[in-house]
Amino acid sequence: MAAPATTPQPPYYAVIFTSIRADGDNGYAEAARQMLELASTQPGFLGFESARQEIGISVSYWSSPEAIKAWKENVIHRQAQDRAKDWYKAFRVRVCRVEREYGF
């Protein structure tokens, strides 16, 4: 059973990736697995959550804007970004500062 990401006390940052998938896998599942594995080794990575129905929403958590920028510019991640049209009909990326959190 999946659980919400464990994150530190705010503030920290969230990158929200909202997408509508293209038809067919086109290597997506393996690339997504590799990107999560690689992201989790990057300095400043804090966690990841994802859900998909018609619209997919993936949220990665980061310690700083600099950590997000370094991940965006990672060479292997850039190669995956170049394949976006193979995998998505549409997507949006939103970067947010998390000011507070609560839950159980």
| Domain segments of the chain as ranges | 12-98
- C-alpha distance from residue 45 to each of 24, 26, 97 (Å): 30, 27, 14
pLDDT of residue 82: 95
pLDDT of residue 2: 80
Q: E strands, 55-101, where?
A: 56-62, 88-98
Q: Domain 12-98: which topology?
A: Alpha-Beta Plaits (3.30.70)
C-alpha 57/C-alpha 52 separation (Å) is 6
Tokens 């393996």 belong to which residue? Answer: 30
Position 104 confidence tier, pLDDT thresholds 50, 70, 90: confident
Contact 44, 67 (CB under 8 A): yes
Contact 101, 25 (CB under 8 A): no
Instruction: At 9, list the tokens.
Output: 């006390």
pTM strictly above 0.75: yes
pLDDT of residue 27: 93
Per-residue model confidence as pLDDT tens digits over 41-93: 999 999 999 999 999 999 999 999 999 999 999 999 999 999 999 999 999 99
Per-residue model confidence as pLDDT tens digits over 4-44: 999 999 999 999 999 999 999 999 999 999 999 999 999 99
